[in-house]
Amino acid sequence: MKYGIYFAYWEHEWDADYRYYIDKVSRLGFDILEISCGAFGKTYTTDAQLTELRDYAKEKGVTLTAGYGPTKEQNISSADPDTAARALDFFAGTLGKLKLMDIHLLGGGLYSYWPVDYTQPVDKEADLARSVGNMKKLAKIAEENGVVLGMEVLNRFEGYLLNTCEEGLAYVEAVGSPNVGLMLDTFHMNIEEDNIAAAIRRAGDKLVHLHLGERNRQVPGKGTLPWDEIGQALRDIGYSRAAVMEPFVMPGGTIGSEIKVWRDLVGDTSEEALDRDAEGALRFVRHVFGI
Nearest to 56 by CA among 90, 82, 10, 25: 25
Query: Three-state DSSP class for 3?
Result: strand
Q: What are phi and psi of 40, to 5 degrees?
A: -65, -20
Do 151 and 106 form a contact (C-beta atoms < 8 A)?
no
Under a CB-based contact definition with an 8 Å cutoff, are residues 214 and 269 in contact?
no
Helices 271-289 and 18-28: crossing angle in degrees, nearest 10, is: 50
Q: CA neighbours within 13 Å on the CB side: how many for 61?
A: 8
Could you give the angle at which helices 124-145 and 81-100 cross, rounded to 10 degrees? 30
138 and 119 Cβ atoms separated by less than 8 Å? no
Backbone Cα Rg of the chain: 18
Point out the residues that are catalytic. Answer: 152, 246
The answer to whether the CB of 38 falls within 8 A of the CB of 6 is: no
H helices within the chain, ranges in order? 18-28, 47-59, 81-100, 124-145, 165-175, 186-192, 196-203, 227-236, 253-259, 271-289
How far is the CA of 142 from the CAs of 57, 104, 182, 184, in angstroms? 22, 9, 15, 20
Report the distance separating Cα 85 and Cα 250, nearest Å: 36
